[in-house]
């Protein structure tokens, strides 16, 4: 698998010179033309995303070296926001800055965000992170935090995307602590004080978010307590800016409602699985977990007021024993299925069903090596809604279709991981009513009927180039994939939406 390297998306803007919106006087529809700068040398193309509600949704893809896109059938008087991501066989880049325009008959109002995307070399071979955040609501975070540098250290919480989150920061240079929020890209300070941070000392940071009440404590001593209802849910991230001596350890997230543990990571295994590293500033971070703590020793930094810096985002669901139930339908001949106990692109289980090469398979990919665990030669019936059930309990893996047993095997390769919906060489894949339940507690881990028309919580990952890019969309209360993207390689890589 090749890596994306040596390129960045510098800016996203509307092309204004000689441009005006076109409209139809009866339908009140208009067209906006988008233009960006391509200085990359190995992209396969660009994905164009438009803001729908509070989430960016892919609306189109263009090929390599293309630098513009026209979006038609827009409503006059409405404001539209866009951003662009480059992609190739190694994955998808972080997004460009966003740009917005209000469509009027007289003029175009531009609201561009003056930020630039990190280079994809900083995130090569990482899954895309758009909308791939945990939808935790009321929770408490405890973490050990140490700073040996003069810059900022801290924690982001109720993180939804790079434009929406809360953040606690502590500056060694300014001897100040702040509780901030970023909402739709705008920063606001909620509380601040002056306090020195002792270099080399491990502090215990505690953050609690319950309803609109936000509390921060250091070593058990209250620091801030404020009321703010801007953001009600989201995941966490460990934050560093202008600080090459950051380390974090013993990160625990507890559900304040149910009382269960959402995340516990002490990094003693030297792994940073579940964490995605994001550089929102010039320079390059150096995150590692080799010392039994998560350490940032790079020079990612910014002097902008929002001080984006770098952060380690926790976006993976580390579920253990669970039951997955969903409806699955195919109108084409390729493969369709479900990935479970997914840890990364090289480690997961997968149930897949193909009509082209008739049969059902239960397989695994372990350290990049694909292996079939069980299979049969039963083809699926086109356009039939199958009720799929997958049960993972300890090493026991079971697959049932329409309440009838299909596979029951024992395998101990993976004990935890999230789920993904899978399609390969199949332009007629549909999924609906996915429900994941914790077998230990009976609590729902995930429930999505796609009735709101959004992909919130799901990340699209294309692991193939031929026939691509993918074309995932939510319409009619179903999640559909309408592209023929796929591969004949071992394991039939294609595309999947990762939760």
Tokens representing 465? 């180039």
CA Rg, the chain, in Å? 23
Structural domain includes residue 486: yes
Average pLDDT per block of 10 residues along the chain, 499 residues long: 29 28 41 70 81 77 78 72 79 70 44 29 28 72 88 88 88 90 90 92 95 96 96 88 83 88 82 66 67 74 59 73 91 88 87 84 91 91 93 96 95 91 86 89 80 70 73 81 76 71
pLDDT for the residue numbered 10: 29
Is the domain of 344 the same as that of 461?
yes
The secondary structure of residue 95, as a DSSP letter, is P
Angle at alpha carbon of residue 146, lines to 285 and 183, rounded to 5° = 65
pLDDT for the residue numbered 284: 60
- Backbone torsions φ then ψ of 120, nearest 5 degrees: -70, -15
Structural domain includes residue 128: no
Chosen domain end from 285, 314, 343: 314
pLDDT for the residue numbered 467: 76
Could you write out the DSSP letters of every residue in 47-72? EEEEEETTEEEEEEEEETT--EEEEE
Is the domain of 286 the same as that of 152?
yes
Is the domain of 199 the same as that of 144?
yes
Dihedral angle of Cα 77, 83, 88, 93, to the nearest 10 degrees: -160
pTM listed for this prediction: 0.49
The secondary structure of residue 122, as a DSSP letter, is G
Tokens representing 448? 């999505």
Is the domain of 104 the same as that of 163?
no
Task: Indicate the length of the chain as a whole number.
Answer: 499
Is the domain of 338 the same as that of 230?
no
CB atoms within 10 A of CB 352: 24
The C-alpha atoms of residue 323 and residue 41 are separated, in whole angstroms, by 44
Is the domain of 261 the same as that of 162?
yes
- End-to-end CA, the chain: 23
Structural domain includes residue 327: yes
- What three-state secondary structure class fits 12? strand
Is the domain of 345 the same as that of 452?
yes
Structural domain includes residue 295: yes
pLDDT for the residue numbered 278: 65
Structural domain includes residue 193: yes
Q: In this structure, are residues 102 and 68 in contact, taking their beta carbons and an 8 Å threshold?
A: no
Chosen domain end from 314, 339, 361: 314
The C-alpha atoms of residue 328 and residue 325 are separated, in whole angstroms, by 10
Strands (E), 367-442: 369-375, 386-393, 396-401, 404-410, 418-424, 429-438
Is the domain of 148 the same as that of 296?
yes
Chosen domain end from 273, 289, 314: 314
Tokens representing 16? 């204004």
Domain count, the chain: 3
The C-alpha atoms of residue 394 and residue 269 are separated, in whole angstroms, by 20
- Backbone torsions φ then ψ of 174, nearest 5 degrees: -90, -5
pLDDT for the residue numbered 219: 96
Structural domain includes residue 1: no
The C-alpha atoms of residue 368 and residue 391 are separated, in whole angstroms, by 23
Is the domain of 390 the same as that of 487?
yes
Is the domain of 158 the same as that of 206?
yes
Question: Alpha-carbon torsion 134, 230, 126, 64, what sign?
Answer: positive
- What three-state secondary structure class fits 73? strand
The C-alpha atoms of residue 183 and residue 197 are separated, in whole angstroms, by 28
Q: In this structure, are residues 334 and 425 in contact, taking their beta carbons and an 8 Å threshold?
A: yes
pLDDT for the residue numbered 1: 27
| Residue ranges making up the domain that contains 210 | 139-314
CATH code of the domain covering residue 405 = 2.60.120.200
CATH code of the domain covering residue 46 = 2.60.40.10
Please identify which residue in the block is written with the tokens 């559900």: 255
Q: In this structure, are residues 274 and 238 in contact, taking their beta carbons and an 8 Å threshold?
A: no
Q: In this structure, are residues 74 and 29 in contact, taking their beta carbons and an 8 Å threshold?
A: yes
Is the domain of 328 the same as that of 476?
yes
Is the domain of 246 the same as that of 352?
no
Structural domain includes residue 446: yes
- Backbone torsions φ then ψ of 122, nearest 5 degrees: -80, -15
Question: Alpha-carbon torsion 12, 15, 20, 25, what sign?
Answer: negative
Q: In this structure, are residues 253 and 141 in contact, taking their beta carbons and an 8 Å threshold?
A: yes
The C-alpha atoms of residue 250 and residue 496 are separated, in whole angstroms, by 32
Structural domain includes residue 131: no
Q: In this structure, are residues 280 and 308 in contact, taking their beta carbons and an 8 Å threshold?
A: yes
């Amino acid at each position: 698998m090749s890596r994306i390297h040596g390129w960045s998306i510098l800016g996203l803007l509307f092309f204004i010179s000689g441009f005006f919106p076109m409209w139809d006087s009866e339908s009140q529809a208009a067209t906006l033309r988008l233009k960006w700068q391509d200085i990359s040398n190995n992209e396969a193309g660009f994905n164009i995303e438009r803001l729908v509600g509070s989430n960016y949704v892919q609306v189109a893809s263009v090929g390599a070296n293309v630098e513009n896109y026209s979006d038609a059938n827009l409503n006059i008087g409405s404001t539209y926001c866009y951003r662009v991501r480059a992609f190739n066989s190694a994955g998808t880049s972080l997004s460009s800055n966003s740009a917005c325009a209000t469509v009027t008959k007289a003029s175009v109002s531009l609201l561009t965000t003056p930020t630039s995307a990190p280079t994809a070399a900083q995130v090569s071979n990482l899954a895309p992170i758009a909308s791939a955040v945990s939808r935790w609501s009321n929770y408490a975070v405890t973490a050990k935090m140490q700073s040996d540098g003069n810059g900022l250290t801290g924690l982001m919480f109720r993180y939804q995307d790079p434009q929406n989150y809360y953040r606690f920061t502590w500056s060694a240079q300014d001897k100040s602590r702040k509780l901030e929020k970023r909402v739709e890209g705008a920063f606001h300070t909620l509380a601040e004080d002056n306090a020195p941070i002792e270099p080399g000392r491990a502090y215990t940071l505690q953050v609690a978010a319950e309803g609109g009440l936000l509390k921060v404590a250091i070593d058990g001593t209250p620091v801030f307590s404020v009321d703010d209802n801007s953001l009600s849910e989201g995941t966490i991230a460990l934050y560093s800016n202008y600080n090459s001596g950051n380390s974090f350890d013993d990160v625990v997230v507890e559900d304040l409602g149910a009382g269960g543990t959402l995340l516990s990571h002490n990094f003693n295994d030297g792994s940073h699985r579940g964490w995605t590293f994001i550089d929102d500033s010039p320079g390059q971070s150096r995150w590692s977990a080799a010392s039994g703590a998560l350490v940032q020793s790079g020079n990612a930094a910014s002097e902008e007021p929002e001080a984006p810096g770098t952060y380690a985002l926790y976006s993976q669901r580390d579920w253990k024993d669970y039951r997955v139930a969903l409806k699955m339908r195919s109108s084409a001949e390729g493969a369709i299925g479900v990935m479970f106990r997914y840890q990364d692109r090289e480690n997961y289980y997968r149930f897949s069903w193909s009509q082209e090469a008739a049969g059902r398979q239960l397989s695994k990919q372990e350290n990049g090596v694909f292996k079939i665990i069980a299979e049969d030669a039963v083809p699926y019936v086109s356009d039939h809604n199958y009720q799929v059930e997958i049960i993972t309990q300890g090493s026991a893996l079971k697959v049932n279709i329409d309440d009838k047993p299909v596979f029951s095997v024992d395998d101990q390769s993976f004990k935890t991981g999230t789920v993904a919906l899978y399609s390969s060489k199949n332009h007629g894949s549909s999924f609906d009513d996915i429900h994941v339940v914790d077998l230990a507690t009976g609590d729902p881990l995930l429930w999505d009927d796609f009735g709101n028309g959004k992909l919130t919580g799901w990340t699209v990952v294309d692991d193939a180039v031929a026939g691509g890019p993918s074309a995932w969309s939510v319409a009619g209360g179903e999640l559909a994939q309408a592209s023929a993207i796929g591969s004949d390689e071992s394991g039939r890589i294609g595309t999947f939406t990762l939760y």
